[in-house]
Structure 1
Amino acid sequence: MPLAGIALGAWRARGHDFVFRGQTIRYWTAGEGAPLLLIHGFPTASWDWHYLWAPLAQRYQLIACDLLGFGDSAKPRGHDYRLLEQADLQQALLAHLGIDAAVHVLAHDYGDSVAQELLARHEDGRFRMASCVFLNGGLFPETHHPVLAQKLLLSPLGALFGRLFGRAKLEANFAKVFGPATQASAAELDDFWTLIAHNDGPAVMHRLIRYMPERRQQRDRWVAAMQATRVPLRVIDGAIDPISGAHMVARYRELIPQPDTVLLEGIGHYPQVEAPEAVLEHYLAFRERLE
């Protein structure tokens, strides 16, 4: 049965605020049980999880925020956005909520890199991670194939390109990375764009995109943590994603001991939006195996 999802207006109404290093961060919680931290990707926001939110909340205590520079959180101009700071934000949010148990993580895209940093901190004894599931993301810089818009944002013309980035460009870029049979609807694109555009978000996109060189800087540390960890890991990946699809999973299988991977055929870069029922099935199977 298709998952109903949550309308953007209803989702926004359920949010709460807290202050992180002087910036207002929007976050959401639901459910009871073992804490599950959901970390969204670029350039969207935590509403990405809206199809999975209610069924996961029936089993777990969910925590999600719009990362700094994204969605309904603050988007400070001139800020030096860093993945390491976004990991600090996750830890600050958990502390704000009084959560000190080991945390399960479900991440996507940019959020995968934040999760990799949290996993490295777990290995260093600075975070407690119970498990981690990655959806499509650039786990290995050598297999990450950015789209043209990302390359332009990272170029010397990035600030100008960001200012010119609008809903039409979002639609064109999403058409390339979603599966041919699972394209975002016009209404979904409107909502994605609403969150990106909120608080003049395009003005900081060229700063947010600097996560790509930061990934390269942290690559060896993050991969070493994934290779050494005893934290249960799984990849659930849209196979035909041109950015981080089956080619990324092939590299994962080469590098990670006893790799646990699921390929979703015909699905692109946003499996939690394109095929939420399949993601839910494979996520719950992973968690049930741990119990």
Structure 2
Amino acid sequence: MALPGIALEQWRSASQGFDFKGHEIRYWTAGAADAPPLLLIHGFPTASWDWHYLWRPLAQRYRLIACDMLGFGYSAKPADHDYSLLEQADLQQALLAHIGVSEDVHVLAHDYGDSVAQELLARQQQGRCQLASCVFLNGGLFPETHHPVLLQKLLLSPLGRFIGPLFSRQKLEASFAKIFGPETLPGAAELDDFWTLITHNNGPAIMHRLIRYMPERRQQRERWVAAMQAGQVPMRIIDGAVDPISGRHMVERYRELIDQPDTVLLEDIGHYPQTEAPEAVLEHYLAFRQCLQQIPAPSLD
């Protein structure tokens, strides 16, 4: 049965706000306060509404926390800001502190959010963060396997400041057509909503600043991969296989680098599995969490 999702305006009306370094951040919570906390971290260039199909079913089991990161969605988008993945990790930790989460946190991340999650994993190793598990959806976990689309390359170039303001809904549709699965393309209404989130607070004007996460990933690559290889936090990848940016080829690299890799490939699904195949993502995420709860039988020796 298809998951119903949440209309964008309804989603927006449920948001709350808090101040992060003088900038307003919009965030969402759901589920019982005593349920295990689950932090959802969205990708580029969209926002936390990406999770709207999964939001209600996950809230039946977990305490959900999500925000539109600085520069995204309904949060502040300062024009002269030096956006950083490390700062976005600071934001996630500030959000958890703001709502009073003190226990170990489970993480479900996508795309740009995968890099933020990797930073949190590195902080876990340093004793600066408490994670219980981490599940990645399609993202550039390894710079050597990340294949950016033309728009991303142009935004990162010296022409980037001119490219962002020229970005249009038509170009968004063309870009998504290349990275979604052929049978799971977003419809017109969904594209309109994605576009609303991107353009809110003049978002296209800062896209060339947000895209600087790509070289930052290269700078942090060894530290982040080492944290993943340390095996301190249970991890799983749920990945759309036909995604040209971070699909099957990224999972193959993950299997080379990570001991006892836990990976799920969704055939015919692209870069946004949480909107293209939310039922499958939910199934595999819940199965992962069920595995974490299993306690080995006591030894009879």
- TM category, shorter: over 0.9
> SS of the counterpart of 2:19?
strand
Name 2:16's counterpart in structure 1. 16
Name 2:40's counterpart in structure 1. 38
Give the Cα–Cα distance (whole angstroms) in 1 for the partners of residues 252 and 284 of structure 2: 19
Name 2:25's counterpart in structure 1. 25
Within a 5 Å distance, the mapping from 1:48-127 to structure 2 comes to 48-127=50-129
**In percent, how many aligned pairs have the same letter?**
78
Name 2:143's counterpart in structure 1. 141
> SS of the counterpart of 2:203?
helix
Give the Cα–Cα distance (whole angstroms) in 1 for the partners of residues 231 and 45 of structure 2: 29
**CA shift digits 1:47-98 (9 cap, x unpaired):** 0000000000000000000000000000001100000000000000000001
> SS of the counterpart of 1:226?
helix
Quote the RMSD (CA, aligned, Å). 0.3
Unaligned runs of 5+ in 2: 294-301
**CA shift digits 1:142-180 (9 cap, x unpaired):** 000000000000000001000100101100000000000
TM-score of the two chains, using structure 1 as the length reference: 1.00
Unaligned runs of 5+ in 1: none
> SS of the counterpart of 1:199?
coil
**Hey, which bits of structure 1, 4+ residues long, moved more than 3 A?**
none
Question: Match for 2:128: what amino acid?
Answer: R
Name 1:166's counterpart in structure 2. 168
Give the Cα–Cα distance (whole angstroms) in 2 for the partners of residues 281 and 92 of structure 1: 30
> SS of the counterpart of 1:27?
strand
> Is residue 249 of structure 1 aligned with residue 251 of structure 2?
yes
Query: How many residue pairs were aligned?
Result: 291
8 Å CA contact 1:154–1:209 kept in 2: the answer is yes
Larger radius of gyration: 2
Which of these residues, 154, 176, 179, is aligned with residue 178 of structure 2?
Answer: 176
**CA shift digits 1:91-132 (9 cap, x unpaired):** 000000010100000000000000000000001100000000
Within a 5 Å distance, the mapping from 1:195-234 to structure 2 comes to 195-234=197-236
